[in-house]
Amino acid sequence: MSRPNAQSMKPATAAKKLDVYLPATPAEFQENPITRAELADLQADPPQWLKDLRKNGPHPKNLVATKLGVSIAGLARSGITDALTTEQITQLLEDKPEWLVAERESYQSVLREERRVKALHADQTRES
């Protein structure tokens, strides 16, 4: 078995680095390894398909969660397991279903607690 070129990556890795949903990318992107140079070119001068995906989606779960202000686990608890388009995300933000309000509150609570603990550790480190 030959060793893959160390300077190339799987399409899934490249899609992650580009913050796009792999199944929505062109077949050529999905089927071929991406070199670091090609990735840099895509980042520096994105083709129209990449611009469209970033603008309209479908977006990967991590971006959906960020745009909705919830955790990825919160998406799963709400039953959202698929990628969503920008339009679908906007609709959820406008409709504010109960699950979204509850998950946003929960997520903000977790973030506040994480900041509190981090500050506490920083204070303890300074005192040492």
Q: Is 24 a member of any domain?
A: yes
HSE-CB at 87 with a 13 A cutoff on CA atoms is 3
pLDDT tier, 6 (very low <50, low <70, confident <90, very high otherwise): low
Which ranges of the chain does DSSP label H, i.e. alpha helix? 11-18, 27-31, 36-44, 48-56, 61-68, 72-77, 86-95, 98-127
In this predicted structure, the answer to whether residue 26 has a pLDDT above a threshold of 80 is yes
2 part of a folded domain: no
* 2 has a pLDDT exceeding 50: no
* Whether pTM exceeds 0.85: no
Tokens, residue 12: 């899934």
The pair of structure tokens assigned to 29 is: 């992107």
Q: Predicted confidence band at 38 (pLDDT cuts at 50, 70, 90)?
A: very high
Residue 69 forms part of a structural domain: yes
Average pLDDT over residues 3-13: 78
Return the structure tokens found at 34: 């991406």
- Does some domain include residue 1? no
* pLDDT given at position 1: 35
In total, how many domains does the chain have? 1
**Domain of 47?**
8-127
In a domain, 19, yes or no: yes
pLDDT of 3 higher than 50: no
In a domain, 74, yes or no: yes
